[in-house]
Amino acid sequence: MTSPAPTPSPGAPGSDIPAVSVTPGGLATTTLTVRNDSDIVEAYGLEVVGECAAWATVEPARVSLYPGTSETVTIRLEPPRSPEVRAGELPLAVRVLPTEHPEAVRVPESTVHVEEFRQLRAEIAPRRRRGWLRGRYRLALRNEGNGPVTLGFTPAQPGEELRFTVKPAEQKLEPGESAEVGLRARIGKPVWFGAPVIWPFTVTVAETAEPDSARPEPADTIRTPLDAEFVQIPVFPKWLLAVLAALVALLLAWFTLVRPAVRSAAKEAADEVVQQRPTPGADEQSGQGTGTGGGRPGSGGAGTQPGTGGGDGAGTETGPGGGGGGGVAGGQQGSATIDVQTAGGADKTGTYKVPEGKVFGITDIVVANFQGDEGVLTINFGERKITTIALETIRNQDYHWVTPIRIAANDTVTAQVTCAKPGTPATGRRAQECHEVLNVSGVLSSTR
């Protein structure tokens, strides 16, 4: 904006400057007329001083005048769009310094009206929060305008199932000032089972009108919507139900398969002990039956064990542990857990080794991907690959066999995890590592 300069007073090297208005981020101009009323040729240096000096210039910055002549220079005002340039009236002064007579320096003054502008930076963090009934958020605010503002907050959610609390309810910010406001979202009823429920909502940050203000609302009045979500997780997650189902299956297997087998083995062992006990008078009967020809009773081997004499050759009996070996004795229910944690982009293998002198007959496995990791899990029994699973397709998975898969002593059960991307557990924060758990169950028997 340019205004005509007034006629300078006689004998003065400079004159007054017209007032001007400027918008931060824009350009405005005004003028200053310099007149040489001395009797010599004089050069004048011109420089803006005061609060406007950082963003004001004079063009040209130096003029040379003959006696009795004058020249009009232009003052350019270009304030940045920044909170540091406060709205309101600022003094504008130009120092006019004669080269030959520096003692005759003059500083004509005027005013610059800096227009007000509004600008707010607002963020909500985190954008997504997980929980059973409530989630806490924070609103990060910064006033990037050049005037003070008072802000209010209006949360809204379709259906109005969520209840919100904002502290403080209003926040006043000076130019360049930052602040944080707490927000809590709460749901009335828990989700006991099933999938998580996502509740999207919006928080509108808006400038509140002053109660006694009669000025019209400016075009750049602050009104900023912020979007966020509350993810309500079930109290009992799916993986827990799968683990409970596996435990119930193991208990049923124990009562229907293992326990009757143990009782039967105990009964057979007791019967064998009873059969090995000698019958009263058996020594006399065996002595009489093993004699030869007309010899005296018992001459065929007095004091010999049953079945070792001549005669009709009674066969020997095999007690417990006799005969051929190599079979599997009665076992007991057993299980092993392999816990694998590995960073994103890496591979790691967890191992369970069957003890020396044991055989593991596996009937059940349960895989737990409770974080929702992404990647690949490969399960091997010894040299045999059982399955390869894409982790992103499961949270929990179980497998069962009617006929146990036998793993010999010193062989291994391995779970190899290739972590592509760690998931987000119930805490709501993304995990730093993939975390998978493999549980194998079956009958652990001794070899003989």
Q: Please state whether beta strands 384-390 and 178-187 pair in parallel, antiparallel, or not at all (unpaired).
A: unpaired
- Amino acid identity, position 246: A
Q: What is the pLDDT of residue 193?
A: 85
Q: For residue 256, what is the DSSP state?
A: I
Residue 429 included in any domain: yes
Q: How many domains does the chain have?
A: 3
Instruction: Give the CATH number for residue 24.
Output: 2.60.40.10
Percent of the chain at pLDDT above 70?
Answer: 78
For residues 260 and 187, membership in a common domain is answered with: no
Q: What is the pLDDT of residue 208?
A: 87
Q: Which helix (H) or strand (E) holds 305?
A: none
Domain boundary among 86, 114, 142: 114
Distance CA 60, CA 72 (A): 9
Please tell me the least confidently modeled range out of 60-74, 107-121, 246-260, 296-310. 296-310
- Amino acid identity, position 381: F
Q: How confident is the model at residue 210 (pLDDT cuts 50, 70, 90)?
A: low
Residue 356 included in any domain: yes
Residue 301 included in any domain: no
What pLDDT digit, counting tens, does each position of 269-320 carry? 656 655 555 544 444 443 443 333 344 434 333 333 333 333 333 333 333 3
Residue 291 included in any domain: no
Instruction: Give the CATH number for residue 128.
Output: 2.60.40.2310
For residues 99 and 130, membership in a common domain is answered with: no
For residues 104 and 125, membership in a common domain is answered with: no
Beta-carbon contacts of 105 under 8 Å, excluding residues fewer than 6 positions away, are 95, 96, 97, 98
Asked whether 139 and 226 are in contact (CB, 8 A), the reply is: yes
Evaluate the omega torsion of the peptide bond into residue 79 and state whether it is cis, within 30 degrees of 0.
no
Domain boundary among 114, 139, 174: 114
Distance CA 376, CA 420 (A): 8
For residues 110 and 147, membership in a common domain is answered with: no
The reply to whether the predicted model has a pTM over 0.75 is no
What pLDDT digit, counting tens, does each position of 71-85 carry? 999 999 999 999 999
Q: What is the pLDDT of residue 252?
A: 87
Please tell me the least confidently modeled range out of 76-80, 138-142, 210-214, 390-394. 210-214
Q: What is the pLDDT of residue 301?
A: 37
- Amino acid identity, position 315: G
Residue 245 included in any domain: yes
* Predicted confidence (pLDDT) at residue 323 exceeds the cutoff of 70: no
For residues 259 and 223, membership in a common domain is answered with: no
For residues 203 and 243, membership in a common domain is answered with: no
For 296, the token pair is 């005296």
Q: What is the pLDDT of residue 1?
A: 35
For residues 42 and 146, membership in a common domain is answered with: no
Q: What is the pLDDT of residue 272?
A: 60
What pLDDT digit, counting tens, does each position of 150-191 carry? 999 999 999 889 999 999 999 999 999 999 999 999 999 998
Enclosing domain of residue 124: 120-210+218-232
* Predicted confidence (pLDDT) at residue 2 exceeds the cutoff of 90: no
* Predicted confidence (pLDDT) at residue 347 exceeds the cutoff of 50: yes
Domain boundary among 48, 80, 114: 114
Q: Coil, strand or helix: which one is 405?
A: strand
